[in-house]
Amino acid sequence: MDFYSAYAHGFARVAACTMPVAIADPAANARTVLEQARACHDDGVAVAIFPELTLAGYSIEDLHLQDVLLSAVEAAIDEIVEASTGLRPVLVVGAPLVHGTRVLNCAVVIHRGRVLGVSPKSYLPTYREFYERRWFAPGDDRRGSTIRIGGVEVPLGPDLLFSATDVPGLTLHVEVCEDMWVPIPPSSEATLAGATVLANISGSPITVARAEDRRLLVRSASARCSAAYLFAAGGQGESTTDLSWDGQTLVYECGELLAECERFPDGPRRAVADVDLDRVRQERLRQGTFDDNRRTHDERVGDFRTVAFELSPPTGDIGLRRKVDRFPFVPDDAERLALDCYEAYNIQVSGLEHRLAAIGGDTWQPKVVIGISGGLDSTHALIVAAKAMDRLDRPRADILGFTMPGFATGETTKSYAYRLAKSLGITFEELDITGAAEQMLKDLDHPYSHGEELYDVTFENVQAGLRTDYLFRLANHRGGIVLGTGDLSELALGWCTYGVGDQMSHYNVNAGVPKTLIQHLIRWVAESGQFGDETNDVLEEIVEQEITPELVPQKGSDKPQATEESVGPYALQDLTLFYVLRHGYRPSRIAFLAWHAWHDADAGEWPPHLPEHRRIAYDLATIRRWMVVFVNRFFASQFKRSALPNGPKVSAGGTMSPRGDWRMPSDASAAAWLAELEANVPQN
């Protein structure tokens, strides 16, 4: 595999171009198109689209019917076709073309010296400022047709797909302006027929708020069709006799904006992005209703024609022209992050609120029993429980919090537990498990009981198991349920003690929350004023601490036990988890994305409030090393996930519940994933 090549990983570079048009001067417009086409070629672009009626200008009105203009357009197409021989991109240019006794408003698709096909505009507006039927005939009845261009008969119709034989998944469909504005656009049918990249070449004069209307339509089409959608509108040079033009360009993918240019530009502009063809394919694989919809309309979509072409994509490292989030579960935008935190927190709170009401009915109000370590996860579970009690109009004293120090419990975290419990007004006790742990180790005849400093998995799990055992018995004894605190990342990596351990609870509010989101949730709770100042102050301190299980005693000045030294940086592991769980990507592809996200600490965006010391870089060797750990732990730990307690799904990225997003056998082999990683991800 050409690891550093975007095309090798299922991406294709596209460009939505706008340019100054010379109205009624096809020769001049052809030269401008070719200038931009050459720039796109140099940039590694596969598909470049230009606005509606590019070669003539949209706003020339009755000149569309003049023989001189129509002949000049044909000559301009011939010029572009000839010059395209040495150019990589598929070029989509707008042109008025005679077919039969009428002129059609067409998108001409050109590649490497030939016209691949012509897509006519199906729906012609004749309302408000539009009078297109005065000049053009609708193209919706041209399915299965052909047209003669440059002495060659080529396919014509809205039923054309253009498919690259050497770029898997790159199948293009083109529609024209108004086609996007009707209830069932041609692109919807094309999508069901297999199109993955949808293009709309548009004239679209600008009026107040029309840009947002276009954005809404493009975004929704890309989301609904699970496709990439390119849009290019007419701009500079179009006649301003009665209208004005803004040259808006957009590239969306599955509802997400990848690229756009400034509006009302002076000179040509290109919105360039690498669209993710593998993502499109995977989205459609997962959404079975996509193909069900195809079956409903099979009689019509089955008649689409496919025109094949060979792109010859660039090789090597051409960069990646799209944003890759370092933290897929955590938005970089402050406003979006705040909204996500609001929704996530309230999903958890309402989930617990309903569970408590459902258990108790009209006769019993179960208490909440929770172990509080002073770490991130238990802190967040506690503030979820506190808010649930507030909403149920119950006293927070019905939360029974226990801190259970063991062999390595630190004074700092224990103090956080005390301060947080006091500030929230819950019932709080300390239950030291050291004696019980020593007795169990003695009963097991563990070397530690004979004075040896052996801190193995048994030593650790005796403590973790005892804590959970006590919580369950306390819940029995005091009339409550055990609230789980373990998060999604720990479940994915198996970083939890099975059975009588932190893997088990009566209800786990954190089961759908990844580790990288927890600290932002806690910070949002503090900043949004969910509790008082005393609570908020403690929360702000807790989010800054290093993640540690505090199970192995610390010697002198030794560094405390660090979770991430065992399971890997959660920043990297959560990125891998997101792409495995949500998209089913292969390890080499995830490594490619991780490298682009993390290899340069100075590039790209970071989530708000992330401390400077956490804004670091990871090289490919480090990414590869921890991905091996992820794959091994992920497969080895499925038995823990197969027996998860209930808990709400929080993120669209997914959850590990066997009743929800994730089902796999506990004895599945990781061999194929490890082999793919070994074969395709370089050591450095």
614-621, Cβ contacts within 8 angstroms, sequence gap of 24 or more = 614/571, 618/569, 618/572, 618/594, 619/684, 620/591, 620/595, 620/681, 620/682, 620/683, 620/684, 621/683, 621/684
Collapsing DSSP states into helix, strand and coil, what is residue 553? coil
Q: Give CA–CA dist 588/6, Å, rounded.
A: 12
Cβ neighbours of 258 (radius 10 Å): 23
Looking at this protein, which amino acid is placed at residue 511? A
Q: Which of 106, 121, 132, 261 is catalytic?
A: 121
Q: Which of 17, 40, 52, 367 is catalytic?
A: 52
Q: Give CA–CA dist 486/501, Å, rounded.
A: 10
Is 177 an active-site residue?
Answer: yes
CA distances from 152 to 78, 105, 526 (A): 11, 19, 69
In terms of Cβ atoms closer than 10 Å to its own Cβ (0-12, 13-18, 19+), residue 288 is exposed
Q: Give CA–CA dist 479/58, Å, rounded.
A: 75
User: E strands along 145-248, which residues?
Assistant: 145-149, 152-156, 160-164, 171-176, 197-201, 228-232
Q: Give CA–CA dist 273/648, Å, rounded.
A: 35
Collapsing DSSP states into helix, strand and coil, what is residue 176? strand
Q: Give CA–CA dist 44/36, Å, rounded.
A: 13
To 10 degrees, the CA torsion angle through 134, 136, 139, 140? -10
Q: Give CA–CA dist 385/518, Å, rounded.
A: 15
Q: Give CA–CA dist 50/33, Å, rounded.
A: 8
Helices (H), ranges, 487-608: 488-493, 515-527, 533-542, 563-567, 570-578, 587-598
| Six-digit token string for 56 | 């003539």
SS3 content of the chain, % helix, strand, coil (to 5): 45, 15, 40
Nearest to 47 by CA among 77, 15, 8: 15
Cβ density class 171-199: b for 16+ within 10 Å, e for less: bbbbbbbbbbeeeebbbbbbbbbbbbbbb
Q: Which of 17, 40, 106, 177 is catalytic?
A: 177
Collapsing DSSP states into helix, strand and coil, what is residue 27? helix
DSSP code of residue 512: T
Beta bridge partners of 111: 114
3-state SS, one letter per residue, for 643-667:
CCCCCCCCCCCCCCCCCCCCCCCCC
Is 225 an active-site residue?
Answer: no
Diameter of the chain measured on Cα atoms: 102
Phi, psi of 349 (to 5 degrees): -65, -50
Is 121 an active-site residue?
Answer: yes
Phi, psi of 618 (to 5 degrees): -125, 130
DSSP code of residue 226: T
Element (H, E) at 305: strand 305-309
Within 13 Å and on the Cβ side, how many CA atoms surround 525?
A: 32
Active site residues: 52, 121, 177
